Amino acid sequence: AMHYGKKEAAVKLEKGCMGECFPLDGAFEEPEIVYCADFSSKVLTDLPAGCNKLIYLVKINMFNNKLTTFSKEWESLDKLLSLDLGSNKLTALSPSIGKLIHLKELNLNKNPIKTLPLEIGNLKQLQTLTLRQNGLTEFPPSIAMLTSLENLDLALNKLTTLPMEIANLKNLKTLTLVGNELSSAEQKKIKALLPKTIIYFE
């Protein structure tokens, strides 16, 4: 990607994202050709050693592992566009998440995360954020800083209200709130704050 301009490099990486996804046992043989890594369901408790060698990695699937923390090692994967951390044991994200500034998709489904760090607001290119079934009782305020967000899934949590700051999400196309505890008055308020967004309450 070094031979290309920034825009061309981004397109090249996006195409790479759609190509072959390398499994855990094959990703480190030729790390410079790995754009996509599928490390799902491997009982991993952290990012595998050697991931800092995957210098062109744009997509990583860590779904259904045993991650409890988001370590500093993730900062080396600064070209990531898509990160799937669904069905892990994360109780929090460290500020390191804010270093992945090119992320467009972030899946945090089914993790016992109660809030998100302010640094997540650095993800100015994030378009899709999934926080389904996380046991959230409060809306993480840092989400309101994600001005490029187009799809936000907060289904199956324990939210009773969303803050006025949700109106900052001017590009939000869909908001999924199925399975929360929002009163009809609260639903009306949310609709008024996001008049152009398709909102699913049930």
8 A C-beta contact, residue 61 and residue 84? yes
Query: Which one, of 23, 28, 59, lies nearest residue 39 by Cα?
Result: 23
Q: Which CATH superfamily is domain 1-117 in?
A: Ribonuclease Inhibitor (3.80.10.10)
Evaluate if residue 48 carries a pLDDT over 50.
yes
Evaluate if residue 16 carries a pLDDT over 60.
no
**pTM of this structure:** 0.89
Q: What is the pLDDT of residues 133-158, one digit of tens each?
A: 999 999 999 999 999 999 999 999 99
Q: What is the pLDDT of residues 82-107, one digit of tens each?
A: 999 999 999 999 999 999 999 999 99
Distance CA 60, CA 39 (A): 7
Average pLDDT over residues 163-182: 98
198-201: Cβ within 8 A, 24+ apart: 198/173, 198/174, 199/174, 199/175, 200/155, 200/174, 200/175, 200/176, 201/177
Distance CA 133, CA 137 (A): 11
Give the confidence band of 114 by pLDDT, cuts at 50, 70, 90: confident
Evaluate if residue 55 carries a pLDDT over 70.
yes
Evaluate if residue 13 carries a pLDDT over 90.
no
- Indicate if the alpha-carbon torsion angle 161, 163, 169, 170 is positive or negative: positive
Q: Give the whole-number percent of the chain exceeding pLDDT 90.
A: 88
Evaluate if residue 67 carries a pLDDT over 60.
yes
Scored b (16 or more CB within 10 A) or e, 115-141 reads: bbbebbbbbeebbbbbbbbbebeebbe
Evaluate if residue 10 carries a pLDDT over 70.
no
CATH 3.80.10.10 positions along the chain are 1-117, 127-202
Give the confidence band of 2 by pLDDT, cuts at 50, 70, 90: very low
Overall fold of domain 127-202? 3.80.10
What is the pLDDT, as a whole number, of residue 4?
A: 45
Give the confidence band of 9 by pLDDT, cuts at 50, 70, 90: low
What is the pLDDT, as a whole number, of residue 7?
A: 55
What is the pLDDT, as a whole number, of residue 128?
A: 99
